[in-house]
Amino acid sequence: MFLQTKTKKDISKVEQLSEIIDAVSASRDIRELLEASLNKTLKALSSERGSIFMAGEDGEELSLKCANDNDLKLDQFRRKLGEGVVGKVAKERRSLLVKDIRQDRALTISNIYHDYRTTSFLCVPILAGMKLIGVINITENNTGKPYSEEDLKFLEMVAGSIGLQIEKSKLLCEVEKIKKKAETDGKFTELGKFSSGISHELNNPLDGVVRYVNLALNTIEEGPARGYLMEAKSGLIRIVNIVRSLLELSRRNKNLNPKMADVNKTMEHSIELAMNSVAHKTVDIKKNMCKDLPMIPDMGLESIFSNILKNAVDALGETGFIEVKTARNNGFIEISISDTGCGMSQEHINRIFEPFFTTKEMSKGVGLGLAICDDIVKRYNGRIQVSSQMDKGTAFVIQLPLKDNA
Ligand SMILES: Nc1ncnc2c1ncn2[C@@H]1O[C@H](COP(=O)(O)OP(=O)(O)OP(=O)(O)O)[C@@H](O)[C@H]1O
Ligand SMILES: [Mg+2]
């Protein structure tokens, strides 16, 4: 009779464990993974309270990422390695089963006792191999009994599966990033070869054709022939833009000895250029320039600024403004360009740095502007970030490290 009950109990534990592992592997992101595993583990161990801490990049500090306790502030509640029960378990990478906290001298002396409302708790490190991923805590067993060695084993298995899954998602994320980068780099190498080969050849004849089409348009009367010429001109403008972008790519690739540039002056010049290209619109530009910026090598600053400014102008409707800021921030020169234009959906944000991604009509955009910006910023070992909200506007922030560039 006893044996039968024991076996039933074991089977139900195995089922619960496999349910937790399924939930863990089906999760789409880490927060969902932590929440699903914590809730299911609390149920399986008939417990009321639990939390999961995750180790930071350097492994020296843990922060609370998931808890079913509203008193605890996620991300803000932290423990250093070795500090408190969580820090101790993390440091020693050893599980802790406390049956009665009042009997545990070490815990009572260090005053950890007051962190717990009941006398028994489990605390287990989440590991991937020996790498510390985090710590899981379970307490307030509502059976009224202390936790057992079996409960501890159960929690260790849950922690093991969480650790592996988190490591797996991190690795997959890295692989995705590398794949994307390889793809983009590959496209750029191809573009580089292509551009140096034919863009020079195309540039001069194209200039001539555009000039003759313009002359013809100045003399021709209204009528179908004028319509055809207008169409031809818009196609030509697109070709001119592509050739210009490709030329820019190939020239920059060769420039190994860049001159030093003044960021603010380059920005002023880029603003002028962007404004000249939209003579039909009056655009209000607010400037907030840092007076004390060092010179940096010019590896294509004007291209970055002009491309982003031109996009900002395109995004603006009848009203709105563009704000340009330069600043010195923690070893970086920080340049931000924001607009109150049409904004972008998340789907577009994810693709804007891809070569040839554009939402603009044929005569207006080629889809190379931001790919070029991204390429130049990478040469500076810098970063380019974008935030945008539909119908509210877009902000680009570029950070160029002074360490590598001043
Ligand atoms: N400030 C902005 N506001 C709204 N959308 C933007 C903004 N900046 C970029 N975009 C979106 O990103 C796309 C890609 O921009 P990118 O500058 O690379 O190419 P493009 O402007 O279309 O063409 P071009 O090669 O002439 O620059 C744009 O087509 C547009 O959809
Ligand atoms: Mg553009």
- List the residue whose alpha carbon is closest to atom 10 of ligand 1: 311
Residue 233 within a domain: no
Residues 273 and 160 occupy one common structural domain: no
Buried b (16+ CB within 10 A) or exposed e, 42-64: bebbebebbbbbbbeeeeebbbb
Query: Candidates 358, 375, 389: which one to mutate for ligand 1, based on the most atoms within 8 Å of Cβ?
Result: 358
Residues 169 and 264 occupy one common structural domain: no
| pLDDT at 2 (0 to 100) | 43
For residues 296 and 128, which has the higher predicted lDDT (pLDDT)? 296
Tokens 């010019």 correspond to: 298
Residue 163 predicted with pLDDT over 50:
yes
Q: Which of 44-58, 211-225, 262-276 has the lowest mean pLDDT?
A: 211-225
Query: Candidates 309, 310, 311: which one to mutate for ligand 1, based on the most atoms within 8 Å of Cβ?
Result: 311
Question: Ligand 1 centre and the CA of 315: distance in Å?
Answer: 8
- List the residue whose alpha carbon is closest to atom 4 of ligand 1: 343
SS3 readout for 6-55: HHHHHHHHHHHHHHHHHHHHHCCCHHHHHHHHHHHHHHHCCEEEEEEEEE
Q: How confident is the model at residue 341 (pLDDT cuts 50, 70, 90)?
A: very high
Residues 281 and 155 occupy one common structural domain: no
**Domains: count for the chain:** 2
| Mean pLDDT, the chain, integer | 83
Residues 274 and 136 occupy one common structural domain: no
Domain end (from 174, 192, 224):
174
Question: Ligand 1 centre and the CA of 394: distance in Å?
Answer: 11
| pLDDT at 216 (0 to 100) | 84
Q: For ligand 1, is residue 138 a contact (CB within 6 Å)?
A: no
Question: Ligand 2 centre and the CA of 283: distance in Å?
Answer: 17
Q: Give one word for 381, left, alpha or beta, with left for phi > 0 and alpha for psi -120 to 50.
A: left
Residue 152 predicted with pLDDT over 90:
yes
Taking the CA of residue 372 as reference, the ligand 1 atom at the shortest distance is 18
| pLDDT at 273 (0 to 100) | 84
| pLDDT at 3 (0 to 100) | 43
Mean pLDDT of 25-29: 74
Domain end (from 174, 204, 220):
174
Residues 157 and 21 occupy one common structural domain: yes
Question: Ligand 1 centre and the CA of 370: distance in Å?
Answer: 7
Q: Are strands 321-329 and 284-288 parallel, antiparallel or unpaired?
A: parallel
Residue 161 within a domain: yes
Mean pLDDT of 184-201: 64
Give me the CATH number covering residue 406: 3.30.565.10
Residue 345 within a domain: yes
Residue 243 within a domain: no
Residue 353 within a domain: yes
Q: How confident is the model at residue 377 (pLDDT cuts 50, 70, 90)?
A: very high
Residue 113 predicted with pLDDT over 60:
no
Residues 151 and 7 occupy one common structural domain: yes
Residues 141 and 267 occupy one common structural domain: no
The per-residue pLDDT for range 205-214, each reduced to its tens digit, is 777 788 888 8
Residue 229 within a domain: no
Residue 285 within a domain: yes
For residues 234 and 109, which has the higher predicted lDDT (pLDDT)? 234
Residue 53 within a domain: yes
Residue 62 predicted with pLDDT over 90:
yes
- List the residue whose alpha carbon is closest to atom 6 of ligand 1: 311
Residues 164 and 269 occupy one common structural domain: no
Ligand of minimum distance to the alpha carbon of 242: 1
Taking the CA of residue 393 as reference, the ligand 1 atom at the shortest distance is 3
| pLDDT at 172 (0 to 100) | 76
Q: For ligand 1, is residue 393 a contact (CB within 6 Å)?
A: no
Q: How confident is the model at residue 254 (pLDDT cuts 50, 70, 90)?
A: low
Give me the CATH number covering residue 20: 3.30.450.40
- List the residue whose alpha carbon is closest to atom 21 of ligand 1: 365
Q: How confident is the model at residue 185 (pLDDT cuts 50, 70, 90)?
A: low
Domain end (from 129, 149, 174):
174
Residue 110 predicted with pLDDT over 60:
no
Q: For ligand 1, is residue 289 a contact (CB within 6 Å)?
A: no
- Domain residues for 338? 257-406
Interatomic CA distance for residues 277 and 313, integer angstroms: 10
